[in-house]
């Protein structure tokens, strides 16, 4: 089973996406992994890929042979011009189509995985987009395949994971106001995220015996109920349930002492209860090189762990470190899944 190229959805063309895509190609052109951009060729040209550096392709299979000499792009043109740094709802339909196309190519095995450059949600919402972000949209696009792939455990994605250096964090809740987090937590939710995380560590990261940590919601892990009862009523029972299901999972630990080097050596991933609890330690550990991975999908999907960068778009200042790391990680995960299918 040969390795197909990755599909890279261009993201918001008015942000730093086109610039970092070009920079990522220049960094990877001699070594790979190969990818094909799903997006607007003119936006890439404006970001620094000249006509000589771009190659329009009609199918992803052409990308691998072209990659060393030119940036392959499956050109799906925008319907209006781009002003760097200025979001425009007129681009929304094209951005959505790029994501849909990349996901469809992955579902049909024409690409080995999907990497998504950043999108700005506000202009998409203004144009009628009804999903909180990439993660939820890709869950909808892969819903039928996810049902077909569901295992005996009943665990299901999507689950957001952030990776940096030796740290992996997953989220029990994602884009919620902090005030809404306690009501959104349940034993079933934490158990599901734990199961998906453990399964992904084994299948996608090659961890033979995954070890999970659970971050407490409250200071001091609730101090036996004095500072909150979520640990007693939800998180600790979830840890017991995960252990009953065969997952090596510790009881909830105070988040303020869970991310230093000695603590990180005791687990393979931390299930966090809310957005910033998971993202702050990742960005502190490697601000430029963190990667967002969507677990529990039938396709591989990664992305940079940063936003569209409208404030620096078009100025040549954007760093591609996180996108390069996301491309490499997507290729690694795809290779492990491919090896697992061959072994089966």
Query: What pLDDT is attached to residue 303?
Result: 97
Mean pLDDT, residues 237-260: 97
Mean pLDDT, residues 219-226: 95
pLDDT tens digits, 35-47: 999 999 999 999 8
pLDDT at residue 344 is higher than 60: no
Q: Which fold would CATH assign to domain 152-298?
A: Isopropylmalate Dehydrogenase (3.40.718)
Mean pLDDT, residues 307-323: 95
Q: Give 27's DSSP letter.
A: H
Q: What is the mean pLDDT of the chain?
A: 93
Residue 152, Cβ neighbours under 10 Å: how many?
5
pLDDT at residue 1 is higher than 50: no
Q: Distance (Å, rounded) from C-alpha 328 to C-alpha 332?
A: 6
In the chain, which segments carry CATH 3.40.718.10?
1-142+316-344, 152-298
Question: Which comes out higher in pLDDT, residue 157 or 297?
Answer: 297
Q: Provide the sign of the torsion angle of the four alpha carbons 50, 37, 79, 310, taken in this order.
A: negative
Q: Cα dist. 261→101, 216, 220, 258, 283 in Å?
A: 41, 18, 19, 9, 15
pLDDT at residue 290 is higher than 80: yes
Does domain 1-142+316-344 correspond to CATH entry 1.10.238.10?
no
DSSP 62-81: GHHHHTTTSEEEEE---SS-
pTM over 0.75: yes
Query: What pLDDT is attached to residue 153?
Result: 59
């Amino acid at each position: 089973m040969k390795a197909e190229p990755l599909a890279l959805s261009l993201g918001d063309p008015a942000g730093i996406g086109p610039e970092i895509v070009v920079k990522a190609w220049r960094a990877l052109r001699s070594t790979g992994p190969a990818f094909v951009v799903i997006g607007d060729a003119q936006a890439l040209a404006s970001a620094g890929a000249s006509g000589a550096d771009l190659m329009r392709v009609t199918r992803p299979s052409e990308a691998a042979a072209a990659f060393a000499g030119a940036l392959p792009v499956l050109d799906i043109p925008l319907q209006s011009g781009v002003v760097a740094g200025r979001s425009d709802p007129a681009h929304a339909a094209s951005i959505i189509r790029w994501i849909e196309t990349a996901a469809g190519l992955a579902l049909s095995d024409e690409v080995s995985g999907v990497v998504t450059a950043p999108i700005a949600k506000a202009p998409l919402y203004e144009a009628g987009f009804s999903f909180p972000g990439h993660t939820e949209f890709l869950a909808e696009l892969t819903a039928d395949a996810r049902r077909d792939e569901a295992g005996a455990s009943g665990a299901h994605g999507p689950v957001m994971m952030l990776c940096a250096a030796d740290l992996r964090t997953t989220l029990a809740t994602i884009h919620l106001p902090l005030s809404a987090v306690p009501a959104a937590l349940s034993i079933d939710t934490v158990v599901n995220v734990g199961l998906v995380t453990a399964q992904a560590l084994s299948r996608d990261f090659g961890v033979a015996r995954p070890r999970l940590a659970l971050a407490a919601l409250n200071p001091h892990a609730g101090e036996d109920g004095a500072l909150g009862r979520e640990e007693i009523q939800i998180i600790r029972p979830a840890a017991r349930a995960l252990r009953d299901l065969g997952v090596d999972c510790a009881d909830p630990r105070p988040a303020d002492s869970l991310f230093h080097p000695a603590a990180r050596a005791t687990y393979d991933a931390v299930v966090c209860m809310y957005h910033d609890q998971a993202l702050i330690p990742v960005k502190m550990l490697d601000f430029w090189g963190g990667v967002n991975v969507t677990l529990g999908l039938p396709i591989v999907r990664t992305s940079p762990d940063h936003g569209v960068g409208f404030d620096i778009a078009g100025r040549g200042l954007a760093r591609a470190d996180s996108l390069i790391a996301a491309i490499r990680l997507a290729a690694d995960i795809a290779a492990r899944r491919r090896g697992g299918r061959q072994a089966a």
